[in-house]
Amino acid sequence: MHRQQRQRTAQLLEEAGLELALFSDFDSVRWLTGQNLSAPSLLLFERGNFTLLADEGSSEALNFGDEPGCAYVPIVGYTIQQPIDAPARLADALRELAADINLPPAKVGVEEKSLTLGIWQALLGELPGCEPLSLEGRLLPLRAVKTEEELARIREGFRLVTIGHDAGRKAVRLGQREIDVWTEVQTAVEREAGKWCQMGNDCIVGHRPANMSAAPLDYEIIANDSFILDLSVVVDGYWTDSCATYYAEQPTAQQVQMHKFVEEALAYAISLIRPGEITREVDDKVRSFMAAGGYEVYPHHTGHGIGLTGHEAPRIVPYNQEQFQEGNVIMLEPGIYIPGVTCIRLEDAFLVTADGAEPLSHHDKSLP
Amino acid sequence: MHRQQRQRTAQLLEEAGLELALFSDFDSVRWLTGQNLSAPSLLLFERGNFTLLADEGSSEALNFGDEPGCAYVPIVGYTIQQPIDAPARLADALRELAADINLPPAKVGVEEKSLTLGIWQALLGELPGCEPLSLEGRLLPLRAVKTEEELARIREGFRLVTIGHDAGRKAVRLGQREIDVWTEVQTAVEREAGKWCQMGNDCIVGHRPANMSAAPLDYEIIANDSFILDLSVVVDGYWTDSCATYYAEQPTAQQVQMHKFVEEALAYAISLIRPGEITREVDDKVRSFMAAGGYEVYPHHTGHGIGLTGHEAPRIVPYNQEQFQEGNVIMLEPGIYIPGVTCIRLEDAFLVTADGAEPLSHHDKSLP
């Protein structure tokens, strides 16, 4: 799995003149291997070859060793014979690997925001004179373009998202609490998946003082409430995202007007997406659309990429000059918030294609 | 909060001759502050004073700055004005703090298994010539002795554990799947708590090939099944743990015999606990008890401490020479496993007291 990812990375390292690199960022390791590992783990690059150091209990990691140019070094995890100490076992395994590396002192590519001092000292002990060269963040632009393997996982996630929203729409009723709605959503998704699923994000009644972004608490749904369900389901390490707004009863005239306007804002945002467009320009246009409608402009992002994390490149925010590229998976999520009164947000996911955007999320966001 | 923890740590640092230390292990930071923070965060110790660097969104962290000898430096988290980059913001904030430190080059206490190279380089840039002195693992023995503040959180966790087990016992019925039982447990706990709760661990039918430890899947409960529900609920960062064994129908004669024997093994284990006893000796005695009963001895720990993680000191395992101490919170969990046929495990939590062990878990572990 993820052979394309390793090829693109090997090319990046070659262009940087690096024969040796150590990936310690958990997301980098998962992206380069395609394995939904348990942390911590390391991936050592040496002249075109990738060696994964990860917990022996990871059945997926075994398969990685069968890929061309790849090897897997199992690390002792749970044991009753010695302390459980993954960082020490990783350092030991890295020392063994490094002892066999026959290179003059050189630059070693590192991710210094996740590489620990202990692991770096272990490497330096075997390769004295080596110096760290930062690769921090260098994989992020590569990660922003998804492969078919990644899209398959993401599409399965969105199938579960629809099931979660169907349950959420039914669960939003007068007298139910945010947490009651959430447990219905969670139960529907996990029963369908037949396993635990990591999930997020917001599950909020409109009359909450801060009604934009929050985990469910015991706020009860009251008359004329709106209800934001912003749902991510993580499948095989890949995130989804989505938002719909539901109503305790028939929405008020104001809510209907707001809901329809947010639908229009979302449709407008979608119409702007194509490869080559600048993310900050799309962000600016959608904010202007909200303002022109007479609404307070949402203080959050207009959208963001998703992948191995819930928020990654390309961010659709005021500072970002990145262009959209074919293969990006992005969220668009305009919203209107009247604190303590009502909140409306609608969010969909898209694959950026050669000439526009293909919907990936399919949950029902319509007015009742 | 957690003033005792900081006093004990300050004494440890004084004895080590350290005027400066940087805690980067997330559990160390949470234990030293008493705050259930979001990662990443850092805690800088300088001549008796503690400065917390943590996300500005953490309302608890604000209170920390009001404690005597304590300060709080908020770190920009989510923003649409620049990239979200906690490691870079932490490094910037640490540089600012370090620039004001007036110390000759000296040893700096560090936790090298969590301290990143980037943060270390930031510190070294302001305090050239400083050298790292490992404090790795030095707080673990201190963490093993709980304070009243910690026990209050743990007791609340066990109240929720009982609610989860009550739901689990009812949910174990012919034709239900492991994941169906789990969603009932999870829903009961979260509705009672009125919020999301981190939970684990095992939820397994007896006829699974590997029936000792696993997350719930879609295995269906069949005739004569036993069912292990091993439940942790995390409250304000503090873990609990527990296990009961349920039955799809009336247990078979063999299951009744096994269940009663495990009850006896658990009672025997409890009888061995008091301050000063050696953990490995307790482990050995309980294993011998199982073997003397004619059962295969479980391959896992006899028990373990809990706290900010699900498994911490003191481990009750064959290599551990630590003594039990008053204030330890420990689990005891003998079990019998016949792979693919049936599995029985019973687990309770105890506070080690001056003359024995006070039960902290109160779920029903009896035969039906």
Q: Any idea what the CATH number is for the domain that residue A8 is in?
A: 3.40.350.10
Q: Is the ipTM of this complex over 0.90?
A: yes
Q: Is the pTM of this model over 0.90?
A: yes
Considering only CB atoms, A191 lies closest to which of B180, B194, B195, namely B180
Distance CA B207, CA A148 (A): 37
Q: pLDDT band at B80, cuts 50/70/90? A: very high
> Cβ contact (<8 Å) for B194 and A186?
no
Secondary structure class of A41 (helix, strand, coil): coil
Tell me whether residue A129 is in a domain: yes
Which residue in chain A is spatially nearest to B304 when comparing CA positions?
A80
Determine how many CB atoms are found less than 10 A away from the CB of residue A322.
18
Given CB atoms, is A210 within the 8 Å cutoff of chain B? no
Cβ contacts of B115 on chain A, cutoff 8 Å: 116-118
Shared domain check, B216 and B129:
no
Shared domain check, A340 and A264:
yes
Distance CA A154, CA A286 (A): 26
Q: Please state the domain count of chain A.
A: 2
> Cβ contact (<8 Å) for B80 and A301?
yes
Residue in B115, B363, B339, B360 with CA at minimum distance from that of residue B245 = B363
Q: pLDDT band at B103, cuts 50/70/90? A: confident
Shared domain check, B134 and B240:
no
Q: Looking at residue B137, what DSSP letter applies?
A: T
A78, A110, A113: best mutation site toward chain B, by most B Cβ within 10 Å?
A113
Tell me whether residue B282 is in a domain: yes
Q: pLDDT band at B196, cuts 50/70/90? A: very high
Residue in A84, A62, A82 with CA at minimum distance from that of residue A73 = A62
Asked whether the predicted pLDDT for residue A60 surpasses 90, the reply is: no
> Cβ contact (<8 Å) for A195 and B186?
no
Query: Of the candidates B139, B164, B180, which is a domain's last residue?
Result: B139
Given CB atoms, is B321 within the 8 Å cutoff of chain A? no
Mean pLDDT of B35-47: 92
Asked whether the predicted pLDDT for residue A329 surpasses 90, the reply is: yes
Q: pLDDT band at A102, cuts 50/70/90? A: confident
Distance CA B105, CA A270 (A): 57
pLDDT in tens, A138-167: 999 999 999 999 999 999 999 999 999 999
Mean pLDDT of A104-109: 90
Which residue in chain A is spatially nearest to B176 when comparing CA positions?
A191
Q: Any idea what the CATH number is for the domain that residue B305 is in?
A: 3.90.230.10
Cβ contacts of B116 on chain A, cutoff 8 Å: 112-117
E strand segments, A186-242: 198-205, 226-234
Task: Give the pLDDT confidence score for residue B171 in this predicted structure.
Answer: 98
> Cβ contact (<8 Å) for A80 and B190?
no
Which residue in chain B is spatially nearest to A311 when comparing CA positions?
B84
Which residue in chain B is spatially nearest to A194 when comparing CA positions?
B218
B81, B116, B185, B197: best mutation site toward chain A, by most A Cβ within 10 Å?
B116
Task: Give the pLDDT confidence score for residue A3 in this predicted structure.
Answer: 96
What string of DSSP letters covers B169-238?
HHH--TT-BHHHHHHHHHHHHHHHHTS--EEEEEEEETTSSS-SS----SPBP-TT-EEEEEEEEEBTTB
> Cβ contact (<8 Å) for B80 and A195?
no
Asked whether the predicted pLDDT for residue B192 surpasses 80, the reply is: yes
Given CB atoms, is A40 within the 8 Å cutoff of chain B? no
Q: pLDDT band at B105, cuts 50/70/90? A: confident
B131, B179, B280, B300: best mutation site toward chain A, by most A Cβ within 10 Å?
B179
Structural domain including A251 reads: 148-359
Task: Give the pLDDT confidence score for residue B38 in this predicted structure.
Answer: 82
Cβ contacts of A118 on chain B, cutoff 8 Å: 112-113, 115, 136
Given CB atoms, is A198 within the 8 Å cutoff of chain B? no
Given CB atoms, is A303 within the 8 Å cutoff of chain B? no
Task: Give the pLDDT confidence score for residue A259 in this predicted structure.
Answer: 98
Asked whether the predicted pLDDT for residue B163 surpasses 90, the reply is: yes
Please report the residues numbered 120 through 149 in chain B whose beta carbons come closer than 8 angstroms to any beta carbon of chain A: 120-121, 132, 136
Secondary structure class of A246 (helix, strand, coil): strand
* Least confident range of A50-59, A143-152, B296-305: A50-59
Shared domain check, B203 and B114:
no
Query: Of the candidates A73, A108, A142, which is a domain's last residue?
Result: A142
pLDDT in tens, A182-209: 999 999 999 999 999 999 999 999 999 9
How many CB pairs below 8 Å do chains A and B form together?
Answer: 112
> Cβ contact (<8 Å) for B179 and A186?
no
> Cβ contact (<8 Å) for B112 and A110?
no
Q: Does a cis peptide bond (omega within 30 degrees of 0) precede residue A87?
A: no
Cβ contacts of A218 on chain B, cutoff 8 Å: 194-195
Task: Give the pLDDT confidence score for residue A295 in this predicted structure.
Answer: 97
Task: Give the pLDDT confidence score for residue A176 in this predicted structure.
Answer: 98
Given CB atoms, is A279 within the 8 Å cutoff of chain B? no
Please list the residues that pair with B283 across neighbouring strands.
Answer: none
Residue in A94, A99, A142 with CA at minimum distance from that of residue A115 = A94
Asked whether the predicted pLDDT for residue A127 surpasses 90, the reply is: yes
Q: Give the residue, A44 or A102, on which the prediction is more confident.
A: A44
Shared domain check, B257 and B224:
yes
Given CB atoms, is B260 within the 8 Å cutoff of chain A? no
B202 and B230 in contact (C-beta within 8 Å)? Answer: yes
Q: pLDDT band at A308, cuts 50/70/90? A: very high
Tell me whether residue B300 is in a domain: yes
Shared domain check, B122 and B197:
no
Using a CB cutoff of 8 Å and minimum separation of 24, what contacts does B167-174 make?
Answer: B168/B203, B168/B229, B168/B231, B168/B244, B168/B246, B169/B244, B169/B246, B169/B364, B172/B221, B172/B227, B172/B229, B172/B246, B172/B247, B172/B248, B173/B221, B173/B248, B174/B221, B174/B222, B174/B223, B174/B248, B174/B249
Tell me whether residue A65 is in a domain: yes
Tell me whether residue B365 is in a domain: no
Asked whether the predicted pLDDT for residue A62 surpasses 90, the reply is: no
Asked whether the predicted pLDDT for residue A59 surpasses 90, the reply is: no
Given CB atoms, is B36 within the 8 Å cutoff of chain A? no
Mean pLDDT of A332-346: 98
A36, A78, A112: best mutation site toward chain B, by most B Cβ within 10 Å?
A112
Please list the residues that pair with A162 across neighbouring strands.
Answer: none
Mean pLDDT of A287-300: 98
Residue in B334, B338, B166, B169 with CA at minimum distance from that of residue B255 = B338
Q: What percent of chain B has pLDDT over 70?
A: 100
Which residue in chain A is spatially nearest to B201 when comparing CA positions?
A196
Q: Are strands B49-55 and B42-46 parallel, antiparallel or unpaired?
A: antiparallel
Task: Give the pLDDT confidence score for residue A146 in this predicted structure.
Answer: 98
Asked whether the predicted pLDDT for residue A99 surpasses 90, the reply is: yes
> Cβ contact (<8 Å) for B80 and A319?
yes
For tokens 């390391």, the residue is A42
Shared domain check, B264 and B188:
yes
Task: Give the pLDDT confidence score for residue B58 in this predicted structure.
Answer: 75
Determine how many CB atoms are found less than 10 A away from the CB of residue B335.
27
Helix (H) or strand (E) holding B155: helix B148-171
Q: pLDDT band at B289, cuts 50/70/90? A: very high
The CA-based angle A217-A220-A224, given to 5 degrees, is: 130
> Cβ contact (<8 Å) for B180 and A194?
no
Tell me whether residue A367 is in a domain: no
Asked whether the predicted pLDDT for residue A58 surpasses 80, the reply is: no
Shared domain check, A43 and A118:
yes
Rounded to the nearest angstrom, the gap between the alpha carbon of residue B65 and the centroid of all alpha carbons in its chain is 26
Using a CB cutoff of 8 Å and minimum separation of 24, what contacts does A258-263 make?
Answer: A258/A295, A258/A336, A258/A342, A258/A344, A259/A344, A259/A346, A259/A367, A260/A367, A261/A293, A261/A295, A261/A336, A262/A334, A262/A335, A262/A336, A262/A344, A262/A345, A262/A346, A263/A346, A263/A365
Mean pLDDT of A213-238: 97
Given CB atoms, is B81 within the 8 Å cutoff of chain A? yes
Distance CA B108, CA B121 (A): 13
pLDDT in tens, A11-44: 999 999 999 999 999 999 999 999 988 888 999 9
Q: What percent of chain A has pLDDT over 70?
A: 100
Residues B302-323 as b/e (b if ≥16 CB within 10 A, e otherwise) read bbbbbbbbbbbbbbbbeebebe
Shared domain check, B239 and B118:
no
Mean pLDDT of B35-58: 92
Asked whether the predicted pLDDT for residue A72 surpasses 80, the reply is: yes
B183, B190, B316: best mutation site toward chain A, by most A Cβ within 10 Å?
B183
Asked whether the predicted pLDDT for residue B322 surpasses 80, the reply is: yes
Secondary structure class of A132 (helix, strand, coil): strand
Considering only CB atoms, B194 lies closest to which of A120, A190, A218, namely A218
Task: Give the pLDDT confidence score for residue B124 in this predicted structure.
Answer: 96
Shared domain check, A347 and A205:
yes
Asked whether the predicted pLDDT for residue B59 surpasses 80, the reply is: no
Shared domain check, B191 and B90:
no
Tell me whether residue B326 is in a domain: yes
Query: Of the candidates A125, A142, A159, which is a domain's last residue?
Result: A142
Asked whether the predicted pLDDT for residue B340 surpasses 90, the reply is: yes
A75 and A86 in contact (C-beta within 8 Å)? Answer: yes
Asked whether the predicted pLDDT for residue B60 surpasses 80, the reply is: no
A336 and A343 in contact (C-beta within 8 Å)? Answer: yes
A23, A117, A282: best mutation site toward chain B, by most B Cβ within 10 Å?
A117
Q: Are strands B348-353 and B356-359 parallel, antiparallel or unpaired?
A: antiparallel
Shared domain check, A177 and A302:
yes
Distance CA B44, CA B53 (A): 8
What is the residue-averaged pLDDT of chain B? 96
Determine how many CB atoms are found less than 10 A away from the CB of residue A321.
9
Asked whether the predicted pLDDT for residue A178 surpasses 80, the reply is: yes
Tell me whether residue A103 is in a domain: yes
Cβ contacts of B209 on chain A, cutoff 8 Å: none
* Least confident range of A24-33, A49-58, B203-212, B236-245: A49-58
Q: pLDDT band at A80, cuts 50/70/90? A: very high
- What are the tokens at B299? 């391959």
